Amino acid sequence: MPAVVIPIGSKHRACWSLLEVARPGRHPVPFGILLADEENGESGALTLRLRDADCFDDLEEDEADYLAHLTEDLRRKGIEMGGTRLLDALEDSLSHFLRIGDRTAFAYSGDAQAAADRLFDEYVDGAVRPFVTHLPLYGLRAAATKFGEGMESEHEGWRRAPRNLRLTEGMFVAHVAGRSMEPLIPDGSLCVFRAPVTGSRQGRLVLIEKFGETDFAARYTVKRYARHAGRDESAEREAPIRLEPLNREFEAFELEGDQFRVIAEFVQVLPS
């Protein structure tokens, strides 16, 4: 049985189980993670992360169909029964093609899906598939070098992307410091960005670099891009651009076009 995992400073008590696909004459293959929140007893929420059914290329038709619908089926039953109760039912019923392992006590902080994803990476499938399952992590200066100047820059590693996000090679993740874009972007959030920014920038949330700014924390910032009302796109290039925070405690400011550059567009915050 996997070792008990209890991170320091955790807030949520849960348990998790490993699902495996077991075919005759073959070693069982890890298939997914079921995470059951224990704070509300048997009615605690279920969070899961399973492989895609097409990871197997030699299944029987009925087996492939079963796995293809398994995620939605488990989610529905988790809502109806509660996470712990569903684990009880699976432990009583699964034994052949699909098996469930022993429960492991687990404590986590932050988002339940992010916790399930970490378990998935460790016990099921931690392979990095660039721009398929994972995005590169950059520091803001390195991101500005690569996506602002078009020069090679080292990334700091890879982070798993949400499954429902369509990935492209211009996407990356970076930490955003400061409270000016709260509540959408909390201080210290790990965010997904997309470069280059094509089409009109009006109203978009963009990562910018302010030229001549020696304070690193102020040089790179996310703001809403707003051109002046009544000006066309060609005039916009010559006029100051208004850059707006979302947090009303902070003030908007204007910059000339040669005082900053847009590096990328904000896509979403990654759960922690």
Q: What is the mean pLDDT of residues 252-269?
A: 95
Tens-digit pLDDT profile for residues 168-212: 999 999 999 999 999 999 999 999 999 999 999 999 999 999 998
CB 115 within 8 A of CB 47: yes
What tokens were used for 43? 């009615």
Q: How many helices (H) and strands (E) does the chain have?
A: 7, 14
pLDDT at residue 228, as a whole number = 66
Position 44 confidence tier, pLDDT thresholds 50, 70, 90: confident
**183 phi and psi, to 5 degrees?**
-90, -5
Q: Is pLDDT at 69 greater than 70 in this prediction?
A: yes
Comma-separated ranges of CATH 2.10.109.10 domains in the chain: 134-269
What tokens were used for 219? 């040089």
Give the number of other CB atoms < 10 A from CB of residue 21: 21
pLDDT at residue 235, as a whole number = 52
Question: Which residue type, as a one-letter code, is found at position 271?
Answer: P
Predicted TM-score (pTM) of this structure: 0.78
> What CATH homologous superfamily does 134-269 map to?
Umud Fragment, subunit A (2.10.109.10)
Tens-digit pLDDT profile for residues 115-136: 999 999 999 998 999 999 999 9
138-154 burial, b if ≥16 CB within 10 A, otherwise e?
A: bbbebbbbbbbeeeebe
128: closest CA among 100, 161, 171, 82?
Answer: 161
Q: Is pLDDT at 7 greater than 50 in this prediction?
A: no
Position 138 confidence tier, pLDDT thresholds 50, 70, 90: very high
Position 55 confidence tier, pLDDT thresholds 50, 70, 90: confident
Give the mean pLDDT of the chain.
Answer: 89
Q: Is pLDDT at 1 greater than 50 in this prediction?
A: no
Q: How far is CA 2 from CA 18, 85, 95, 122, 204, in A?
A: 9, 21, 19, 10, 45
pLDDT at residue 149, as a whole number = 86
Strands 205-210 and 220-226, bridge-based pairing? antiparallel
**251 phi and psi, to 5 degrees?**
-100, 150
Instruction: Measure the CA dihedral 150/152/155/160, to 10°.
Output: 60
